[in-house]
Structure 1
Amino acid sequence: MTQFAHPVLDGVPTGLLVAGEWVTTGRTLDVRDPATGGVLASVADATVGEAIDAVAAAHTAFPGWAGTAPRLRAEILRCAYEIMAAEQQQCARLIALENGKAWADAMAEAAYAAEFFRWFSEEASRIVGDFRLAPNADKTIIVDHRPMGVAYMTTPWNFPAAMATRKLAPALAAGCTAVLKPAKETPLTALWVAEVLQRAGVPRGVVNVVTTSDPGGQSAAVLADERVSTLSFTGSTYVGKLLLEKTGQRALPASMELGGNAPLLVLEGADLDTAVEGAMVAKMRNGGSACTAANRFYIHESLAEPFATEFERALAGLRVGPGIDPTNDLGALVSTAERDKILDLLSAAEDEGGRVATTSRVPEEGAFMAPCLVRGVEHGQTLTRQEIFGPVAPIVTFETTDQAVAMADDSQYGLISYVFAPDSGTGMRVAQRMESGMVAVNRGTASDPAAPFGGMKESGLGREGGFAGIHEYLETQYIAVDL
């Protein structure tokens, strides 16, 4: 058994998973703890050739897996759920160490990630088709769904377990095989998830994992391979568009969960305590490093100052430190480079007249950043146009609900919005005006494995989770027959 710098990592795979075997390579990629900057482990760094080997393995395994009874696929996924639920703390430790997030967030992600295996274990045998007489009675219409084939999946660093299971679970439930490329910053959790699936009984070659320091080169080669049938990508809109150019050359189906710039509206008459509590969840989940994180705070002028005061007080109550320590409320960002990008945004905000209030003390070493509240921000300025991806909350005031909705919808993104209203009816009416794929009303979170996750506009294509999630990996076939 390999010995690592941290005992939690003992036994965690570090090779590529290809055709059911853990494969070492001539090159390695260091995985660092953002709380200390130290190296946690070194994982295999795949070449393009090794990625294509993974595609070949998935292609070979596909007919057998597609022909496996849905009930058996369901039982394997259910077993994977039970393993992850039993080993939630091990998963959380991996997340906290390589991603940096706080222990509570890591535990929540581990539980959330496992739920995708449970949900799609239940969906595997419930793929509904259609059988009906045509309106002119000349034939019977039969509509069936069948697995696409090899699915290429690429996941980001901010939710290393949940983004992997949110793709793997529906693909396997549908009967597809997979080649997963996790982010180079956080590969250990994804490798552990793959090892869980092996223990659950997934056959050789059905799940393959290739870690690499050259994601662009690998993805270009894999997507050009005719044995690959679909792409599932979570990441920035910029990279997503580049990948769509690649998939467009083959008319390859693709599902895209891209960037966000979530508005949070606090309407006139909204309960202040509910709004502040919800805002803390919406902003500070994963330390703000989430595509669903509230990014722009539009507060009615009658509530703006009391909301800002109470929100700042709540932020100041957060203890910042290494995520592996359960007493800390906010961990490190994934890297000092990510932290510095956010500091540059704050500098631009100050140049535009924003007043930055830093609320907490942070450790001197590591990729830590104190939560910040920024007053005096105008709609259209830097912090309302850029996805911050960190613990920064810009406050913009408004006079009328129409004005708030117009500012909220004035974005190229449309992933999620948050609305805090005096009552559910008002909140629902405003929610239906929001140009976003998801809206949370009087609450700070909406994500659920049983619900369709995805956005409008440049926030993505397709949906993950819910009844819709499995159909991203299924082809629809219509058969006309004279019975």
Structure 2
Amino acid sequence: MTTPLTKSQLIDGKLVGAETTFASHNPATGALLGHAPDATKADAETAIAAARRAFDSTGWSTDKDLRLRCLRQLHRALDTHREELRELTVAEAGAPRRLTHGPQLDEPIRNVPYYADLLETYDFTEDLGEVESRGERHHRWVEKEAAGVVAAILPYNYPNQLALAKLAPALAAGCTIVLKGAPQTPLTTLALGELIALHTDIPPGVVNVLSSSRAQTGEVLTTHPDVDVVTFTGATATGRRIMAAAAGTVKRVFLELGGKSAMIVLEDADFTKAAMFAAFTICSHSGQGCALTSRLLVPRAHHDRIVELVAAGLDQVRVGDPTDPRTAMGPLISEAQRDKVDGMVRRAVADGAALVRGGERVDPGYFYRPTLLSGVDPDSEMAQEEVFGPVLSVIPFDDEEDAVRIANNSAYGLSGAVHSADEQRAIRLARRIRTGTFSINGGNYFAPDVPFGGYKQSGIGRESGRSGFEEFLEEKSFARVAVARERS
């Protein structure tokens, strides 16, 4: 992509620009990739008004057949334009091409047919039967209906996955939506808006897609009285501010926030397999994944041996040009993010951790070598705070009880993993870790039908699966007098 790209926002069914634009850069080279409209507060208000009007005055929320048709059209458009989206995702997010054949693109596209299929079979009414009260029979039932206007705010790391995991269930439920892309990856999200405008029958105002570098745009989405639901994925600190902002109008808030997940290697595990799994996991998308296991808990007696194996695994990770199909790890998203990662590594070493591998910047672009720290204090910044970079911290434990205690010693509770030759032992341990997702011996829970979310400060609610669909529904209870009791 040598010619700078320009993309439009989707507001009230029209592809439009903005008074000003902001630049998007290729993180692998630092080169200009293109320009995106820099939405203002007024643009956000216009998009919200369009979504409100589409929800209140059209049949979108009640016309199941229309929603099904539009979801099927969206899936066909995504499939037809898959390779264009792939190239854009590699260029803007810095995602290795091989990752786009999984969680960066191909797997996210599956969200759309999954929710179309769910909509086709979902029962929006639950019959509770009759009861006798005050001398009469009363028939009760519950109906589920769309929650209203949704504001969806995305981070940069998995722009396709996170957009479609919010958009598809919201549309299936009958909601209208204002989707705001991350300022680091605006073009990828705007491309989705263009597909909706040009290749689906989704009515004007039902989907609005914004891009903005301005904090005030997001503030409008989280405080506006015409927004009923806020769904946000990103940093925990930002999530706290969104909760506070949404409280003024008592909005429903879904938050998928940070993580500091632990992988526990028990003494009976296959150390070589576990070490390779740990090494390649932390390098996935350069460590820019909230559910990645960034703490590796190992038996104290085997600490040095496992550290050697992990270091050997990191040495096998091919780092470089994300357009090369052989590349396993690309760049970080920006110079600012690389500075943050490097600063945390340097402070960890100053606090007593041993730098086994990495800890180096690589130019051009925003690359950082896969980094391994051993002997990390479980209470230190490195063990407690999310790095969002390719940095793995090894922490020794004395026994299984100690491992559980260290794993749960976190403000976060998003994910986790355990490796053991005894599967039942591994499952018992997994049930003691307070996280929303868990991998046993390399098991992959990530799919459109599996609920994803966390405990504690990793968030509120669940994305994906039936649970992710029901986040966008309200329940209304009904009762009617059925049969009067005969008087004696």
For normalisation by structure 2, the TM-score amounts to 0.93
The secondary structure found in structure 1 opposite 2:127 is strand
User: Per-residue displacement from partner, 1:199-252 (whole Å, max 9, x unpaired)?
Assistant: 13322221101111113x122223332221110000111111111111111111
User: Per-residue displacement from partner, 1:306-349 (whole Å, max 9, x unpaired)?
Assistant: 32212211111122212122232211100011011010111011
Q: CA RMSD in A?
A: 1.8
2:89 to 95, 100, 119: 95
1:213 has 2:206 as partner: no
For the 8 Å contact 2:420–2:441, the answer to whether it is kept is: yes
Alpha-carbon distance in structure 1 between the residues aligned to 2:394 and 2:222: 42
For the 8 Å contact 1:166–1:464, the answer to whether it is kept is: yes
Alpha-carbon distance in structure 2 between the residues aligned to 1:86 and 1:397: 49
For the 8 Å contact 2:284–2:328, the answer to whether it is kept is: no
* Paired position in structure 2 for 1:173: 172
Of residues 445-454 and 455-464 in structure 1, the stretch that sits farther from structure 2 once superposed is 445-454
1:66 to 40, 60, 70: 60
1:118 has 2:113 as partner: yes
Alpha-carbon distance in structure 2 between the residues aligned to 1:90 and 1:311: 36
1:32 has 2:32 as partner: no
Alpha-carbon distance in structure 2 between the residues aligned to 1:398 and 1:206: 52
User: Per-residue displacement from partner, 1:114-145 (whole Å, max 9, x unpaired)?
Assistant: 01112111122333331122454731111011
* Paired position in structure 2 for 1:83: 77
* Paired position in structure 2 for 1:459: 458
* Paired position in structure 2 for 1:188: 187
* Paired position in structure 1 for 2:48: 55
Alpha-carbon distance in structure 2 between the residues aligned to 1:224 and 1:392: 36
User: Per-residue displacement from partner, 1:59-108 (whole Å, max 9, x unpaired)?
Assistant: 12224253453233123223322332343332221111111121112332
Residue 78 of structure 1 aligns with an amino acid whose one-letter code is: R
Alpha-carbon distance in structure 2 between the residues aligned to 1:300 and 1:68: 56
Residue 70 of structure 1 aligns with an amino acid whose one-letter code is: K
Residue 113 of structure 1 aligns with an amino acid whose one-letter code is: P
User: Per-residue displacement from partner, 1:403-454 (whole Å, max 9, x unpaired)?
Assistant: 0000100111101111112222111101110111111111164221101111
> Residues 236-251 of structure 1: matches in 2 within 5 Å?
236-251=235-250
User: Per-residue displacement from partner, 1:132-165 (whole Å, max 9, x unpaired)?
Assistant: 2245473111101110111000000000111100
For the 8 Å contact 1:158–1:290, the answer to whether it is kept is: yes
Residue 213 of structure 2 aligns with an amino acid whose one-letter code is: S
* Paired position in structure 2 for 1:259: 258
> Residues 32-431 of structure 1: matches in 2 within 5 Å?
32-62=25-55, 63-108=57-102, 109-128=104-123, 129-136=125-132, 138-198=137-197, 199-215=199-215, 217-359=216-358, 363-431=362-430
* Inter-CA distance 403–164: structure 2 relative to 1 (3 Å threshold): same
Alpha-carbon distance in structure 2 between the residues aligned to 1:223 and 1:308: 45
Residue 58 of structure 1 aligns with an amino acid whose one-letter code is: A
Residue 456 of structure 2 aligns with an amino acid whose one-letter code is: K
* Inter-CA distance 65–186: structure 2 relative to 1 (3 Å threshold): farther
For the 8 Å contact 1:320–1:362, the answer to whether it is kept is: no
Of residues 225-234 and 45-54 in structure 1, the stretch that sits farther from structure 2 once superposed is 225-234
For the 8 Å contact 2:319–2:330, the answer to whether it is kept is: yes
Alpha-carbon distance in structure 1 between the residues aligned to 2:443 and 2:22: 37
For normalisation by structure 1, the TM-score amounts to 0.94
- Larger Rg over CA atoms: 2
For the 8 Å contact 2:419–2:442, the answer to whether it is kept is: yes
Question: How far has the Cα of 1:196 moved from its partner?
Answer: 2.4
* Paired position in structure 2 for 1:468: 467
For the 8 Å contact 1:259–1:415, the answer to whether it is kept is: yes
User: Per-residue displacement from partner, 1:231-283 (whole Å, max 9, x unpaired)?
Assistant: 00001111111111111111111111011111111112012233124323432
Of residues 189-198 and 454-463 in structure 1, the stretch that sits farther from structure 2 once superposed is 189-198
For the 8 Å contact 2:280–2:314, the answer to whether it is kept is: no
